[in-house]
Structure 1
Amino acid sequence: MMTYPRDCCRKLPIMNENHKESQPKVDHVDDNFATCLLKLLVMVLIFYVFREECFGNNQLKENDERKTQFRNGWQKSSLYPDWRKEFFQAVTITLDPDTAHPSLVLSEGNRRVTWGEKSQDLPENPQRFYSFPCVLGLQVITSGRCYWEVEVGDSQALDLGICRPHVMRKGGISIKPEDGFWAIRSYNDEYWALTSPETQLIPKEHPARVCIFLEYEEGRISFYNMTDKSHIHTFSQGSFEGPLKPFFRLWPSDSACLTICPVLEAAQNPLC
């Protein structure tokens, strides 16, 4: 059967109309595919971010644990106190005679204090301790990191630490952080951190020399036994507000004495 040109012309419009009817269906399928693909990509991205976050947190936690283990191990090392000095300034501490209890005798340029046989006749001074045999350092500390060392020898009757300059001098004095004192005590072969309540300390060896590290901005004061280079105790105050002074106390005893160690000329600083 032959097809005439006129019949072909009639079929072309029909084919065009069929093509137009099918076109929207193809576009609709493309839109659905693009939407599904986008959702899939978003899910993959969320999974990737979640995995990285979990892995990152675990990695940070692992790193923190390693740092803590390293720090704890290093602090137990006998080299730690000497190494720590590299990050602190050594200060020359002298004792303030105006604060010394009448039973305390200062000597060696006000670097040594001993228990006197009898009370001295000293002028009345509002800065002087009268209730307890205490004396303060002359230097005032208001910032920075510093340290000083105290030779105590065989003495078993003393307190060492820091305090606020305006602590009580008379009456019932309570040596604890709440009242402006951060100190440790050696008495009758027992050692205590004067916290509230007091914390008993058990050093391996009697600390014949004690190094005191003060970190003012961090609110920490640490005590180290320089006989065996071991850590004795650390007070973590959080922050210090206002000036601080070195604090010393002797208990009534014939052997009670202490000497502030001189600082080498190369390490001297007027104040930390």
Structure 2
Amino acid sequence: MEILSNDTHRILLCQIRSRDAKQLDYREYFVKVDNIDTTSTNNLLLWILIAFILVTKTEYDASEQWKKWKRTEEQLRTEKATLQMEHEELSRQNGEFRMENEKLQKEIDDRKAQFENDWRKKYYQPVTVTLDPDTAHPALILSEERRRVAMGEKCLDLPKSQLRFESLPCVLGQQSFSSERHFWEVKVDSSTAWDLGICRSNVMCTERTYIKPEDGFWAIRFYNDEYWALTSPETQLTVKQPPRMVCIFLDYEDRCVSFYNMTDNSHIHTFSQGDFYGSLKPFFRLWSKDSGHLDICPLPKEPEVAQLDDNPNSPPTDIVHT
């Protein structure tokens, strides 16, 4: 058998050291060592050395690859943690911006509502509304000055009238409107269930009454701690702060009626393009004897009138349009 020379040994060792284990063709070596005389001590030691070098190099490369993967994994974990922190910071800043935006929007809405109220009160005529006893349901009790309505324990024995509500505990205002712009205010903080608005003066009172625009009613409702616009179908309203006083603005020519929460000067609802004809009257409804009472606010005094009036203590005059 042919024994490898020392030169051949050196050449093979140099090839092993210079080549990457992944690129080394092991078959190339073993073809060359097929004829090694394993009985020769030198050749046997060389074969063992070469095998050891190959195994060691393979393990070393695998270890290096594993370390590389670990470094990559640690780097990715670090980058993920950094991105998570950045995401949390952006979420926090976004939350702060959202809160600031909501705060600014609320301030804008408040100023807008205040402006609208001021504008409307400047161009609308204030009215001291009084209640019409001839239209009051027999279960309703009117105050002596006819500005408060409550519900009694039982129905009163009242004369029959085509003007009186019979199916629902409602009452109309004494004043009627068929032109121009008007507004009045109603305190609602002492009532737990009510309807407020306007209606045609000739609505059906003696038969079953439906509170909706198609039947001549434009009103809002507070019932079971919820606010509703009595449209068809009814529309639930969102109120930021429960109103203690509601202001009703009627623009007859423009055929619209708006409701404002005077507690925070916010807009509640507007009925537009109303089918107005003939005269309109203020409309009030309570739901039960536990509903409390509604109070109509007196006519606000105009500063200009007070300056021109010789007697500033004289009571204001109701503005009525029939």
Q: TM-score, normalised by structure 2?
A: 0.59
Residue 38 of structure 2 is matched in structure 1 by none
Gaps spanning 5+ residues in structure 1: where? 1-71
Q: Does 1:247 align with 2:283?
A: yes
Aligned residue for 1:248, secondary structure, equals: strand
Residue 209 of structure 2 is matched in structure 1 by 173
Q: Does 1:152 align with 2:188?
A: yes
Q: CA deviation at 1:240?
A: 2.1
In structure 2, how many angstroms separate the alpha carbons of the residues matched to 1:160 and 1:73?
A: 24
Residue 193 of structure 1 is matched in structure 2 by 229
**Larger RCO (CA under 8 A, 6+ residues apart):** 1
Q: Does 1:162 align with 2:198?
A: yes
The amino acid across from 2:169 in the alignment is P
Aligned residue for 2:182, secondary structure, equals: strand
In structure 2, how many angstroms separate the alpha carbons of the residues matched to 1:173 and 1:238?
A: 19
Q: CA deviation at 1:135?
A: 0.3
Q: CA RMSD in A?
A: 1.9
Q: For 1:82-231, list aligned pairs within 5 A.
A: 82-231=118-267
In structure 1, how many angstroms separate the alpha carbons of the residues matched to 2:286 and 2:177?
A: 22
Residue correspondences, number: 201
Q: TM-score, normalised by structure 1?
A: 0.70
For the pair shown, the structure with the greater C-alpha radius of gyration is 2
CA deviation digits over 1:172-207, x for unaligned, max 9?
Answer: 211100100000000110000000000000101111
Aligned residue for 1:247, secondary structure, equals: strand
Identity %: 61
Q: CA deviation at 1:239?
A: 5.6
Instruction: Extract structure 1 runs of 4+ deviating beyond 6 A.
Output: none
Q: CA deviation at 1:160?
A: 0.3
In structure 2, how many angstroms separate the alpha carbons of the residues matched to 1:74 and 1:203?
A: 13
Contact 1:225 1:232 in 2 (8 A): yes
Contact 2:125 2:319 in 1 (8 A): no
Residue 271 of structure 1 is matched in structure 2 by 320
Contact 1:90 1:268 in 2 (8 A): no
Gaps spanning 5+ residues in structure 2: where? 1-107, 303-315
In structure 2, how many angstroms separate the alpha carbons of the residues matched to 1:209 and 1:241?
A: 28
Residue 25 of structure 1 is matched in structure 2 by none
Contact 1:150 1:210 in 2 (8 A): yes
Q: 1:237 aligns with which of 240, 248, 273?
A: 273
Contact 2:125 2:183 in 1 (8 A): yes
Contact 1:102 1:120 in 2 (8 A): yes
Higher strand proportion: 1
